[in-house]
Amino acid sequence: MRNNNEQHKKAKALDPTRNGRTAASYGTKVELLSRLENQRTLTTTLLDKIVDYENLEKARNQVVKNGGSGGVDGMEVKELERWLWKNITHLRNDLLTEQYEVSAVRKVEIPKPQGGTRMLGIPTVKDRLVQQAIYQRLNEHYDKHFSERSYGFRPGRNAGQAILQAAEYVKSGHEWVVDIDLEKFFDKINHDRLMSRLKKGIGDRRVLRLINEFLKAGLMHEGLVEQRISGTPQGGPLSPLLSNIVLDELDRELEARGHKFCRYADDCNIFVKTQKSGERVLDSVTKFIEHKLKLKVNREKSGVRHCSDVKFLGYTLLTAGKIRISDKSIDRFQHKVKEITKRNRGVSFQAMIEELNRVIVGWSNYFKLANSWLSNIRNLDGWIRRKLRCYKLKQSQRPRTTHQLLCSLGASVNKSWNVVMYRHGWWPMSLHPTVSQCMSPAWFARQGLQSLYSRIGR
């Protein structure tokens, strides 16, 4: 009797109709398998569409537009148009007959803002062309089925949309964030698992074999080629799509569980109402990621935090859904400005303003969603102007030429000499009332300097 009862309990637990989350997961899985089976039927001749002349031409335009440096063969992007014009028939034939040879990727390590390095794999320009052509045809089948809460590397979607959605979650009372950091995600993607998933949705085995060759292409560093058994290094056009295919499983699981979340590439935040529930979610989702997806969660960086303590895509969310620029983003911006305004650079004042403007415009375009703590932005404007005043004063070098400069900017003779005799260094001098009056915000505007506050705080 006892054994029968235990078997009955197990049967009820496995029954997808017994609880909402299991039923939702079961239904989602059935729907996914059905969709992938249909997609596999539609993609039995996918390679023929990839090597279509129009698709290759579109891919070439995109590779040229993206720019970047060349790969291990030394060919530069500017050479691609002429090369393709001469070799397009040969390229198509090599791809269709599976004789195309994938080259090693050039290994590059760049510093990360928070410390450490990020590895990039720079494919040859020809390989980037082929990857882009594959991406264009594959994305037609995959992107439309990705989660609405996935925002990274997708047409018509961007980080701003993710921030606005996250702000809505916080505004609705979900102020605690399950902040999940995937350890070296692009370097750790399991090749076998990824290929197994691709086989379910791609019917053309030639395409599968070609993608597998790109995945296993060696990394060349200082003349030596290192073979890869996992990962899809950032740098190739195909990597973002493959990463979204891998993490789509996570999105579907979170949706089936009814979670409120936003994901941009490997940056995933889940929004809950209490810290306690967040701890439960972090534990269960970590187990899913590590056991099911075979990825590694960085436990030191992951955690459950109040929204005001979390940096998400450069922003920090406050209660009531307010949005501010994160402290780290401001620190990085200031570091960039300091590099541009170094007093020993020896560039013209106007050239420095033009260089600053490029940074200011790009930065303000990205952070235009900020609607709180805008006094920080006003302070940044004042700090930038002071850095420029300091540079302008140092350019004058001697007391007499400094005096002449200030007089030319409208200061009286006596006030100009008072500044010159101040003699506390260029930085303190840049804050002198006479200097501030001569090189006022209006004067900087006439020089063409862009204002962060007028671009973000309006």
Q: Is the pLDDT of residue 117 over 90?
A: no
CA distance 177 to 285: 13
CA distance 30 to 47: 28
Q: Is the pLDDT of residue 18 over 50?
A: no
The DSSP bridge partners found for residue 325 are 315
State residue 15's pLDDT score: 44
State residue 23's pLDDT score: 56
Q: State mean pLDDT over 282-286.
A: 96
Q: State mean pLDDT over 219-224.
A: 70
Q: What share of the chain is helix, strand, coil (3-state, %, to 5)?
A: 60, 10, 30
| Cα distances (angstroms) measured from residue 216 to each of 184, 212, 235 | 17, 6, 15
Q: How do residues 314-329 score in pLDDT, each as one tens digit?
A: 999 999 999 999 999 9
Exposure class string for 145-173: b at 16+ Cβ within 10 A, else e: ebbebbbbbbeebebbbbbebbbebbeee
Of residues 306 and 413, more confidence is placed in 306
State residue 5's pLDDT score: 53
Other beta carbons less than 10 A from residue 272's beta carbon? 23
CA distance 178 to 277: 9
State residue 116's pLDDT score: 66
State residue 244's pLDDT score: 95
Q: How do residues 336-371 score in pLDDT, each as one tens digit?
A: 999 999 988 889 999 999 999 999 999 999 999 999
pTM above 0.95, yes or no: no
Q: How do residues 222-240 score in pLDDT, each as one tens digit?
A: 666 667 667 777 788 999 9
Other beta carbons less than 10 A from residue 232's beta carbon? 26
CA distance 346 to 248: 51
State residue 218's pLDDT score: 77
What are the two backbone dihedrals, phi and then psi, of residue 108, each rounded to the nearest 5 degrees? -135, 135
Query: What is the torsion angle, in degrees rounded to the nearest 10, for the CA atoms of residue 272, residue 277, residue 279 and residue 280?
Result: -120
Distance of CA 298 to the CA centre of its chain: 18
Q: How do residues 373-399 score in pLDDT, each as one tens digit?
A: 999 999 999 999 999 999 998 888 788
Do the beta carbons of residue 181 and residue 301 sit within 8 Å?
A: yes
Do the beta carbons of residue 356 and residue 301 sit within 8 Å?
A: no
Do the beta carbons of residue 328 and residue 340 sit within 8 Å?
A: no
pLDDT-above-70 percentage for the chain: 90
Work out the angle between the directed axes of helices 125-142 and 239-256 (0-180°, nearest 10).
30
The two structure tokens encoding residue 189? 């993607």
What are the two backbone dihedrals, phi and then psi, of residue 221, each rounded to the nearest 5 degrees? -140, 120
Cβ neighbors of 449 (< 8 A, separation 6 or more) are 353, 356, 357, 384, 385, 388
CA distance 207 to 138: 10
Q: Is the pLDDT of residue 157 over 50?
A: yes
- In which band, very low, low, confident or very high, does the pLDDT at 258 lie, cut at 50, 70 and 90? very high
Q: Is the pLDDT of residue 420 over 70?
A: yes
- Going by C-alpha positions, the residue among 248, 222, 306 that lies closest to residue 272 is 306
Of residues 410 and 28, more confidence is placed in 410
- In which band, very low, low, confident or very high, does the pLDDT at 12 lie, cut at 50, 70 and 90? very low
CA distance 264 to 161: 10
- In which band, very low, low, confident or very high, does the pLDDT at 458 lie, cut at 50, 70 and 90? low
Radius of gyration of the chain (CA): 28
Q: Is the pLDDT of residue 13 over 50?
A: no
- Going by C-alpha positions, the residue among 136, 134, 153 that lies closest to residue 234 is 153
Where does residue 243 rank: exposed (0-12), middle (13-18), buried (19+ CB within 10 A)? Answer: buried
